[in-house]
Amino acid sequence: MRRVVNEHNAEVEDASIAALAAEYSQKAEAYARLWSPVIKPMAAPFLPDFRRAAPAATVIAVDRADGMLRARSLPEVPAAVMDVQVLGLASDAFDVAALIFSVFHLPDPLKGLVELRRVVKPGGALGIATWGMDPGQPGMAFWTRELDRAGAPPDPRDPSVNQRDLMNTPDRLRRLVSNAGFRSVRIWSTLCAHRWTVDRLMSNQTSCGAPMRRLEQLPPDVRIACEANVRRDLETLTEDELIYRPEVLFCVAG
């Protein structure tokens, strides 16, 4: 019975990852245009562009979503579609592995980190940037109210692909990384800020944000009305209220 249960869980996990990858591939251009400019500066204290930081290094980009690989800013870097939890890479092959705002999307983050421990050379390093305390983007309460009022179905994304609660404090992140077999673990945090305009915020939230997934399930006329109501409310926010202020956790482990 245990073998059957484990096989079933693996199938569900794979289906969840496949669905998430398909979503990111479909929305990759929007993410590159609207969300990447938000999170890239937040990772800058930890990870400058690989090519600039190590011009002689061999850099490989890996993502389960092929669309995200096509939309990346360094198209000259070799890329491969892979699941981080099951890497088709040789053991002890890399000096550094980096997970930038992605480890929380793994249904089993520990499994993914153990796999990265396998491919990193002895003496190599793992780098992680992930969310700590996150107040959410401005206006999310407006979206929840209007989407509920419009009768939008719940978010269809499988909640198992959001594992932030396992790593959103330094202690939780340290425990997770240590359990994966990394012994030297250094963690620090920084408070970040991104100033939205109403137009950019609306574009992001209706193109690749969480409200988008509920909006897409509404009839076109209802969706248009819902968006108009949220825009009206967003326009009442002050400049200070339009600032997104998340905490970002950084980890280097070996």
pLDDT in tens, 1-42: 344 444 445 565 678 888 999 999 999 999 999 999 999 999
pLDDT value for 8: 47
Superfamily of domain 2-253: Vaccinia Virus protein VP39 (3.40.50.150)
> SS3 string of 107-138?
CCHHHHHHHHHHHEEEEEEEEEEEECCCCCCC
pLDDT in tens, 113-164: 999 999 999 999 999 999 999 999 999 999 999 999 999 999 999 988 899 9
pLDDT value for 49: 66
pLDDT in tens, 164-179: 999 999 999 999 999 9
List the domain boundaries for the chain. Answer: 2-253
Q: Are 88 and 22 in contact (CB under 8 A)?
A: no
In this structure, how many other beta carbons lie within 10 angstroms of the beta carbon of residue 50? Answer: 17
Residue 203 has pLDDT above 90, yes or no: yes
Q: Give the integer Cα–Cα distance in Å for 61 and 69.
A: 7
Centroid of chain to Cα 106: 10
pLDDT in tens, 26-83: 999 999 999 999 999 999 877 666 667 677 888 889 999 999 988 876 677 889 999 9
pTM greater than 0.85 (yes/no): yes
